[in-house]
A and B are shown apart, each in its own frame.
Chain A
Amino acid sequence: MFKILAKEAISPTVNLFRIEAPSVARAARPGQFVMLMTDEQGERIPLTIANWDEAEGSISLVVSSVGHTTLKLATMQPGDTLAHVVGPLGKSTEIGNFGKVACVATGYGMLTIVPPAKALKAAGSRVFSVISAPSKSELLQPERLGEVSERLIVTTADGSAGRSGWVIEPLKELLVSEGIDRVMAIGSLCMMKLVSEASRGLKTTVSLNPIMVDGTGMCGACRVSLAGTPRFACVDGPEFDAHEVDWDLLMARRCSYPMEAACGESAYRCRSCAQW
């Protein structure tokens, strides 16, 4: 059983959980994820390991309430137990001294990008970050990414914090002004897709989040098309080369249920998957 040790509401729709999971904490590396079931009748959902504490035997998960299971999770309290947490799953982020790396994040990515960014910094890379949210209240602990970044550019759609606007413009400026060598993006699909368009010619990695069922390579639900070849995001990813991803297919697939709820009206407002 996996006990919830702490829960903190960090935005109107996002909670940060600390969960007892010693075996996961022992093996976790940046960029890996867990599959979680709230109860025996629940669905298995993938969540990135946002932090871990081997000594305490705990992991942190940042959870956006977007649908059935994440809303159920939001009603759970410290002391409650989760039926299943399995991980770490997937490959870890490629870490190294890559020169200047731009880290771009929206939604839960603002926190799940922290462990890879920190590891990159420790390996000698210089980290420059850009994050964005609809408004100030939806920025997720920006100081955490700020701590590992030489520069953090914050933008909000309504201008309530930082620059007003979205991540793409500041990223484009950064690419030129800093002479960025590599880009890493974690967040909504539409954001990652547009980042990959903005960063043509630069090595760019993204953390893909297709629908998953088992998370161990057994079902193929998570298959994504990479340079025309099908790959399983749960075992071959979730990190992939952004310029090889077939974004349109992925977006069509990811939003497969409920069938009607497509990614929002405008590409930038992925309201239905709430990862904006």
Chain B
Amino acid sequence: MAELNLSRVEMPRQDPLIRSQNFLEVALGYSATEALSEAARCIQCPKHPCTGGCPVGVDIPDFIKALRELDLASSSRILKNKNKLPGICGRVCPQETQCEQSCVLARRGAPVAIGRLERYVADWERRQDALELPLRLPPTGQKVAVVGSGPAGLTCAADLAVAGHAVTVFEALHVPGGVLMYGIPEFRLPKAIVRHEVDSIMALGVEVRLDWVVGNILAVDKLFALGYQAVFLGTGAGLPMFMNVPGEIFSGIYSANEFLTRVNLMHAGEPGYDTPLPMGSQVAVIGGGNVAMDAARCALRAGAERVFIVYRRTKAEAPARAEELENAEEEGVVFCGLTNPVRFLANARGWVTAMECLKMELGEPDAKGRRRPIPKPGSNFIMDVDTVVIALGTTPNPLVPATTPGLDIHPEGTIIVDKEGHTTKPGVWAGGDAATGAATVISAMGAGRTAASSINAYLKDPSDWPAIDQTG
């Protein structure tokens, strides 16, 4: 057996000082030589635990082997067999807690850089002239409606189209892609890649209807009346949470969704685009997750002088990926831990000028094992800021459940589903963030895929609808 190589090939990145001033992709991707030498580190172990660590079970050693043999077409086919969106997942999946964490090399050193290799193969495929389409089964004459064009909806639509059904995707926004387009910034996930993936799904014959808010324009029951025999709800978790502290309504205070939508979806500030991004120079982003990191890094790029991450625990407890926190700090974002805003102050025009914060300390661990932040009485202090972005998470939008009798939700607003995505309403499936609450691209994809195969089986034989209980 060849000697183990325990250190991975680093991926080149843009210099922090330069990249904090542009929206171009930060991580530049492997060259062919780099990809091959990283691929060579995989020992092709028979048990390949990496595959088990992947939420959709990509045949990791196989795609790496094909890459090593310079058969990129096969490599790409193997990837796409399980993962419809490898160019996206290679960039945004938290591999360190998934496949790479399970890699045997991780026990002794750095795991194989599976995500980077996945990205390399997907990028190769995107550069080829002809798109390789999976074989479509003959038309079944059956119609399925997919609501939402995020990763869950797109994956479900693609699988159903391949199975021969006529699929229509209804999307509320003017662009397909969900969070991939409006949330995750260009410098982590170039929008051209998302567009390419959407195009390849449309090439399967999937019809995408933009500007369609299901619920308002058309209720789910109406979809059945129009001849759709099954409905998949991939409506995401787009409702932003606020802190409910005084002054939160002042101008200059955004939800992360609004801030990121202006920047990513509406291209605020780019020449030729109309949407403004009213922003001052001292920006505080409240929260410690990936969304907070994205907002902070966008604020820097949009011209803020100073950007603070204000988080009530410490860096160690922050839910953001370590890599993203590090990227943000390298670019100049300042982390203010153990700090919690209790009130916002504004000028006579109602524009935020400062926030009053409390210092926190860490107490006993909570149910999730994270140490609970406890306010230090009397530690109030004023932080001068003229823009605030609140990144405290999101919950599912209530619109579809509110207009769909028989579709039950959990108290947190997530749609109740079983393992296959059946909801409490016969003929309706749900998956992705709409059913789990804010999660990951790959889990949304996986849910879309699982629901598609369940829908397939149902359309062949619409037998009894399973009873779905609250705990399902």
Say yes or no: is A27 at the interface (Cβ < 8 Å to chain B): yes
Q: Which of B266-316 contact A (CB under 8 A)?
A: 266-267, 272-276, 278
Given known contacts A43-B274, A216-B172, A218-B261, A249 and B249 CB-to-CB distance under 8 angstroms? yes
Given known contacts A87-B216, A218-B238, A213 and B249 CB-to-CB distance under 8 angstroms? no
B400 CB, min distance to chain A CBs, angstroms: 11
User: Across the interface, do A262 and B211 meet the contact criterion of CB distance under 8 Å?
Assistant: no
A74 CB, min distance to chain B CBs, angstroms: 14
Give bound CA distance, A200 to B350, whole Å: 26
Say yes or no: is A77 at the interface (Cβ < 8 Å to chain B): no
Chain B, residues 390-404, CB within 8 Å of chain A (1/0): the string is: 000000011100000
Total count of chain A residues near the partner, CB < 8 A? 43
Given known contacts A230-B248, A253-B249, A84 and B261 CB-to-CB distance under 8 angstroms? no
User: Across the interface, do A256 and B240 meet the contact criterion of CB distance under 8 Å?
Assistant: no
A220 CB, min distance to chain B CBs, angstroms: 4
Give bound CA distance, A224 to B248, whole Å: 10
Residue of B nearest to A252 (CB): B350
Chain B, residues 172-190, CB within 8 Å of chain A (1/0): the string is: 1110000000100000000
Sorting the interface of chain B by its residue count into under 10, 10 to 19, 20 to 34 or 35 or more gives 35 or more
Say yes or no: is A214 at the interface (Cβ < 8 Å to chain B): yes
Chain A, residues 206-231, CB within 8 Å of chain B (1/0): the string is: 00000001101111110111000010
Say yes or no: is B367 at the interface (Cβ < 8 Å to chain A): no
Chain B, residues 358-400, CB within 8 Å of chain A (1/0): the string is: 0000000000000000000000000000000000000001110
Given known contacts A42-B274, A216-B172, A253 and B250 CB-to-CB distance under 8 angstroms? yes
Say yes or no: is A69 at the interface (Cβ < 8 Å to chain B): yes
Say yes or no: is B218 at the interface (Cβ < 8 Å to chain A): yes
User: Across the interface, do B250 and A88 meet the contact criterion of CB distance under 8 Å?
Assistant: no
User: Across the interface, do A252 and B240 meet the contact criterion of CB distance under 8 Å?
Assistant: no
A113 CB, min distance to chain B CBs, angstroms: 21
User: Across the interface, do A225 and B213 meet the contact criterion of CB distance under 8 Å?
Assistant: no
Tell me the dominant secondary structure on chain B's binding face: loop
User: Across the interface, do B276 and A257 meet the contact criterion of CB distance under 8 Å?
Assistant: yes
Given known contacts A88-B216, A259-B349, A225 and B249 CB-to-CB distance under 8 angstroms? yes
B257 neighbours in A (Cβ, 8 Å): 218-220
Partner of B174, one of A24, A86, A255: A86
Give bound CA distance, A214 to B181, whole Å: 13
Residue of A nearest to B174 (CB): A84
Say yes or no: is A83 at the interface (Cβ < 8 Å to chain B): yes
Say yes or no: is A75 at the interface (Cβ < 8 Å to chain B): no
- Number of A-B residue pairs with CB-CB distance less than 8 Å in the complex they form: 120
B38 CB, min distance to chain A CBs, angstroms: 39
B120 CB, min distance to chain A CBs, angstroms: 32
A249 neighbours in B (Cβ, 8 Å): 249-250, 350
Given known contacts A217-B399, A218-B261, A230-B244, A88 and B217 CB-to-CB distance under 8 angstroms? yes
Say yes or no: is A266 at the interface (Cβ < 8 Å to chain B): no
Give bound CA distance, A23 to B172, whole Å: 13
Chain B, residues 228-246, CB within 8 Å of chain A (1/0): the string is: 0000000000111010100
User: Across the interface, do A86 and B238 meet the contact criterion of CB distance under 8 Å?
Assistant: no
User: Across the interface, do A24 and B210 meet the contact criterion of CB distance under 8 Å?
Assistant: no
User: Across the interface, do B212 and A23 meet the contact criterion of CB distance under 8 Å?
Assistant: yes
Given known contacts A27-B217, A220-B242, A214 and B261 CB-to-CB distance under 8 angstroms? yes
A180 CB, min distance to chain B CBs, angstroms: 31
User: Across the interface, do A27 and B278 meet the contact criterion of CB distance under 8 Å?
Assistant: no
A127 CB, min distance to chain B CBs, angstroms: 27
User: Across the interface, do B272 and A252 meet the contact criterion of CB distance under 8 Å?
Assistant: no
User: Across the interface, do A85 and B249 meet the contact criterion of CB distance under 8 Å?
Assistant: no
A225 neighbours in B (Cβ, 8 Å): 249
Give bound CA distance, A85 to B351, whole Å: 31
User: Across the interface, do A217 and B238 meet the contact criterion of CB distance under 8 Å?
Assistant: yes
Partner of A41, one of B273, B276, B398: B273
B82 CB, min distance to chain A CBs, angstroms: 30
Output the residue of A86, A219, A255 with the most chain B CB within 10 A: A219
Give bound CA distance, A257 to B351, whole Å: 10
Chain A, residues 222-257, CB within 8 Å of chain B (1/0): the string is: 011100001000010000000000101101110111
The 7 nearest A-B residue pairs measured at CB = A252-B350, A219-B258, A256-B251, A86-B211, A220-B255, A218-B238, A43-B274
7 A-B pairs, CB-CB below 8 angstroms?
A23-B212, A41-B274, A89-B213, A213-B262, A223-B242, A253-B249, A259-B278
Name A residues whose Cβ lies closer than 8 Å to a Cβ of B: 23-24, 27, 37, 40-44, 68-69, 72, 83-89, 213-214, 216-221, 223-225, 230, 235, 246, 248-249, 251-253, 255-257, 259, 262
